[in-house]
Amino acid sequence: MPEMYSPQARAALMQLMLEDRPIPHKELGERFKIKLPPKVRGPLNDGELMSTTKVGSGLVHEITDKGVEWCMKDLVAGGAPTHAGPLSRAHAEMLRRVIGFLHRRGLLAEAVRSGDLESLIRAAYHDLAAAPEDWIRLARIRSRLNGAGKSEVDDVLLEMMKTGTVHLAPDSNTKMLTAEDRAAAVRIGGEDLHLIAIEESS
């Protein structure tokens, strides 16, 4: 059984793991309704399950590898929150059985971290791009997609191109291409495309 924390602390760790990105303190409260005052986040920071940094005038929280490991243990062994009602406890028991099934087959981490692939691609692009419509190497994008298969990513990229706001292009300087660039390329019409640019949403 992992060390226990408050329901808000557990919720914060789970949400950070699901989002798989740094989350501003304000967003955590406004979007996910998770409150992390110092007395709640302090134990998580002290236990190195989560890092909290000052960015501008606000705080940003990010789960650590140790935090992900704790979440996996909590999913397998953790129970419903204290004072949970009968429906919540029934839901918790159902989740415990499903999670146990996935865990025994080595599928739990993949199921939890999968997320929507297009959203992951867009998030990875915006993390890497210095400005809207920057050209970013697909090799850098693929490394941030939680191990998604190449063919699956290729299919999603092709669908994204149909929107007219996502563009793929070859790198004309082939001498600069690495083995990773060549492996990450999407092939369309006999041409390998190594770069992606996404227009800013209106």
Indicate which CATH number applies to the domain containing 27.
Answer: 1.10.10.10
Higher pLDDT, 161 or 202: 161
What pLDDT score does 165 carry?
87
- Is the model's pLDDT at 114 over the cut of 70? no
Please indicate, yes or no, whether residues 127 and 92 belong to a single structural domain of this protein.
Answer: no
Q: Are 176 and 144 in contact, with CB atoms under 8 Å apart?
A: no
Domain span holding position 123: 117-198
Please indicate, yes or no, whether residues 22 and 102 belong to a single structural domain of this protein.
Answer: yes
Please indicate, yes or no, whether residues 74 and 124 belong to a single structural domain of this protein.
Answer: no
Please indicate, yes or no, whether residues 133 and 100 belong to a single structural domain of this protein.
Answer: no
Indicate which CATH number applies to the domain containing 151.
Answer: 1.10.10
The residue from 94, 112, 130 where one domain ends is 112
The residue from 56, 89, 112 where one domain ends is 112
Higher pLDDT, 117 or 175: 175
Number of domains in the chain: 2
Quote the strand ranges of the chain, DSSP E.
Answer: 23-24, 50-55, 58-63, 136-137, 166-169, 186-188, 191-193, 195-198
The answer to whether the Cα torsion of 60, 63, 66, 71 is positive or negative is: positive
The residue from 84, 112, 140 where one domain ends is 112
pLDDT band per the 50, 70, 90 thresholds, residue 174: confident
Q: What is the DSSP letter of 34?
A: -
Strand-pairing partners, residue 59, are: 54
Within-domain flag for 126 = yes
pLDDT band per the 50, 70, 90 thresholds, residue 83: low
- Is the model's pLDDT at 154 over the cut of 50? yes
- 186 alpha-carbon distance from chain centroid: 23
Please indicate, yes or no, whether residues 100 and 157 belong to a single structural domain of this protein.
Answer: no
Higher pLDDT, 1 or 124: 124
Within-domain flag for 43 = yes
Three-state DSSP class for residue 165: coil
Average pLDDT over residues 158-166: 88
Please indicate, yes or no, whether residues 145 and 190 belong to a single structural domain of this protein.
Answer: yes
Please indicate, yes or no, whether residues 36 and 105 belong to a single structural domain of this protein.
Answer: yes
Average pLDDT value for the chain: 85
What pLDDT score does 1 carry?
43
The answer to whether the Cα torsion of 122, 127, 130, 135 is positive or negative is: negative
